[in-house]
Structure formats: C-alpha cells, structure tokens
Amino acid sequence: MDSLITRPKVPRLIGSKLNAVQCNNCGNIRFPARTYCKKCQSTDLSSILIGPIGEIVTYTTPYKKTPGDKQQIFGIVQLYSEDGKSSIGLSGVFKTDNFEKVQIGKKVELLPNERNNIFKLVEE
C-alpha cells in the first residue's frame, strides 16, 4: 500500500478523461497519479489526460454463472493520450448487450465513473 504522502489529492477523472502523470525524465505514465515515477524514482512529473477513446487488447467472460446473473465481459483496454503518442493499459467491464461485437482491436470509450472502469463500444 502506498503512503498517503505519495498520493496527491487530484480527481481521478476530468470530464471523461483519466487524470494521470507522466515522468519528464523517462516518459513513464502513472495512473492513478503519484508524486514519484515508479520506473526511475524521479519527482519531475507533468499532468497528462488519458482517454476516453481506446481499443480492446484482451477480454474474457466468467465461465461459471449463477442463475439470474447478468453476463459480463471483463477486459483490458489500451487508452491513448490526446496527442496519441502515449498510452496506458486499463482493466474494466464492457457495457454491451451484444457480446458478439466485443473483439480485440475494436474501439471503445471510457464512460465517466468514479469507482469502476466501464467501457462502451464505439460504433464505426
């Protein structure tokens, strides 16, 4: 568990974008935001907004379902910065009624939610 000192009091989301930090020394992106770089331990950081558009890297569904449970799809999405040069992987749940449309490489959008990462498929 990180110390409270290493967690700056910043909002998790700004609009529908993730509020992360990028190291000015090595370029590593850290989300949620911290006061130091995990890779090089530098404290020279800049704020960066990530998302809300990304693409599916991988996904899975629970094998065992209890009666009455709604089927869910969990996965990892690569979300990109505004300039498209930086990205992070983020896990979450896909919000869809048609499971056949969830495929690796499909575009998704991060829905604003303070507690969970929820992704919606972007229709092309």
C-alpha distances out from residue 83 to 21, 27, 28, 32, 122, Å:
15, 14, 16, 20, 19
Three-state DSSP at 5 gives: helix
User: For residue 106, what are its two tokens?
Assistant: 């499909």
Q: What is the pLDDT of residues 30-60, one digit of tens each?
A: 888 888 899 999 999 999 999 899 999 999 9
pLDDT band, residue 8 (cuts 50/70/90): low
Number of domains in the chain: 1
Percentage with pLDDT > 70 across the chain: 86
- For residues 68 and 78, give the distance between their C-alpha atoms in angstroms, rounded to a whole number: 31
Confidence (pLDDT) at 32? 85
By residue range, what is the domain housing residue 67? 4-121
Confidence (pLDDT) at 79? 92
Confidence (pLDDT) at 7? 66
Residue 124 has pLDDT above 80, yes or no: no
pTM: 0.78
